[in-house]
Structure 1
Amino acid sequence: MEKEELIPVEVEWIDAHSSLDGMTISELEKATPFLTKSCGYLIKEDKEKIVLGFMCFGVNINDEPLLKHYQVIPKGMVKKITKLKEYKNG
């Protein structure tokens, strides 16, 4: 995959969470998952997952872009994927 083929997207998804804070049962019963938004390059999308890459470096290894960070989001947690538009400064 060439750098020019990388598509910037925003993924809206529901994230699980946990805490070490003390809570009563009635407080825990009101707990809800977090609505989360992640922006990055869409590396892969299949029936099981969305893979995002972040911080694309100009250095290529075997003709592929080098990405410093990544995120794998289970497809069942994804609410929406939005392709981002290019912004030209000036």
Structure 2
Amino acid sequence: MVEEKEKREDLPPVNFSMFILSLNTSALVHLGELPDPHSQQKKKDLALARQTIDILDMLKEKTRGNLTREEEKLLDTILYELRMIYLRVSGGK
């Protein structure tokens, strides 16, 4: 129980940017760019990658006008980079 509490204390605070970065990491794992944290294997799951990119795009639309400039830039940059990687690894499909 104490060990679990210590792990939670080591985590960064939850905010919108951290949430977006977490989704970015998930998408990169699904795109095969990063190893799965459990298996340590790189494996592509393009359907899950596409879904995560779509979630980020939905968040962009739903939060329009409510983000700081930094949050908006982060979201735009992440979406652009993920879409480019998706096109590369999917063969443009």
Alignment TM-score, normalising by the size of structure 2 = 0.25
- Of the two structures, which has the highest relative contact order with CA contacts closer than 8 Å and spacing of 6 or more? 1
- Flag the structure with larger Rg: 1
- Compare the two structures and name the one with the higher helix fraction: 2
Alignment TM-score, normalising by the size of structure 1 = 0.25
